């Protein structure tokens, strides 16, 4: 939501960022195209400068529900607040789960909810139905180090379970070797959690080369 003047005088660490940005914007205009952020910027401008259009969309959407609110940007929250009328907004999210700051996620909006909307009601969902007690406690101890968050008292419903074990590996290769040993020694169903498919490809290859029975990848 920066103006051109603000961008040109922002003092970026990389000196040519404003020049690159301005050239990029000019290329978009010349080719009559816009990127995803532009769609929201132009939408915000239209709603701010065209009261009749803003009124139309406000009346069209009686209730607004925002899911995964910790992953939405400041610009998206601005659009949401313009469309929300009174207490017709329901926002679901967890600021502790915000991991997309690199793409402008703005979890502060969850903390500011009670200031931005009239008569707010904050409901904390503090029961964990997925994990066992030791996992929940370890995770709570870790995430409690965050500075800007709602305080929570997480409890689990699945009993104590096995203790969490911390495994230190020098690098990814050592990590895969450890997982291979676990798979070879395991005589029960064992799950390996991973962030994306790219992370799993070398491990699948390693399992195949060592005749580990094919699991559900």
Asked if residues 69 and 92 have their Cβ atoms less than 8 Å apart, the reply is yes
User: Quick check: 217 pLDDT over 60?
Assistant: no
pLDDT for res 216: 54
Residue 48: band (very low, low, confident or very high) from pLDDT cuts 50, 70, 90? very high
pLDDT for res 197: 84
Give the residue, 87 or 81, on which the prediction is more confident: 81
pLDDT for res 80: 93
pLDDT for res 38: 87
pLDDT for res 215: 61
CB-CB neighbours of 36 under 10 Å: 7
Residue 200: band (very low, low, confident or very high) from pLDDT cuts 50, 70, 90? confident
Q: Is the dihedral of CA 209, 213, 214, 217 positive or negative?
A: negative
pLDDT for res 132: 94
* Terminal-residue alpha carbon distance, the chain: 42
Asked if residues 123 and 137 have their Cβ atoms less than 8 Å apart, the reply is no
**If you average pLDDT over residues 177-187, what whole number do you get?**
91
User: Quick check: 115 pLDDT over 60?
Assistant: yes
* CA distance linking residue 157 with residue 127, whole number of Å: 7
Residue 8: band (very low, low, confident or very high) from pLDDT cuts 50, 70, 90? confident
Cβ burial 92-122 (10 Å sphere, 16+ → b, else e): ebbbbebeeeeeebbbebbeebeeebeeeee
pLDDT for res 10: 83
**10-19, 49-58, 103-112, 136-145: the lowest-pLDDT one:** 10-19
User: Quick check: 46 pLDDT over 90?
Assistant: yes
User: Quick check: 198 pLDDT over 90?
Assistant: no
**If you average pLDDT over residues 157-164, what whole number do you get?**
90
Residue 155: band (very low, low, confident or very high) from pLDDT cuts 50, 70, 90? very high
Residue 196: band (very low, low, confident or very high) from pLDDT cuts 50, 70, 90? confident
User: Quick check: 139 pLDDT over 70?
Assistant: yes
């Amino acid at each position: 939501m920066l103006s051109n003047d603000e961008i040109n005088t922002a003092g970026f660490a990389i000196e040519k960022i404003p020049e690159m940005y301005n050239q990029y914007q000019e290329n978009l205009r010349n080719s009559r195209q816009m990127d995803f952020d532009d769609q929201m910027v132009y939408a915000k401008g239209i709603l701010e400068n065209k009261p009749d259009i803003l009124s139309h969309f406000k009346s069209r959407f009686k209730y607004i529900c925002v899911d995964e609110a910790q992953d939405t940007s400041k610009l998206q929250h601005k659009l949401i607040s313009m469309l929300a009328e009174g207490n017709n907004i329901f926002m679901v999210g967890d600021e502790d789960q915000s991991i997309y700051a690199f793409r402008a996620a703005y979890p502060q909006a969850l903390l500011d909810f009670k200031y931005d909307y009239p008569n707010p009601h904050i409901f904390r969902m503090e029961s964990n139905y997925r994990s066992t007690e030791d996992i929940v406690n370890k995770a709570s101890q870790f995430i409690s180090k965050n500075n800007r968050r709602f305080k929570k008292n997480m409890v689990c419903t699945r009993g104590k379970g096995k203790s969490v074990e911390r495994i230190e590996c020098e690098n990814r290769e050592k990590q895969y070797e450890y997982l291979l040993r676990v798979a070879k020694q395991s005589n029960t169903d064992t799950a390996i959690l991973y962030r994306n498919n790219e992370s799993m490809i070398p491990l699948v290859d390693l399992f195949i080369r060592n005749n580990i029975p094919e699991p559900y990848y």
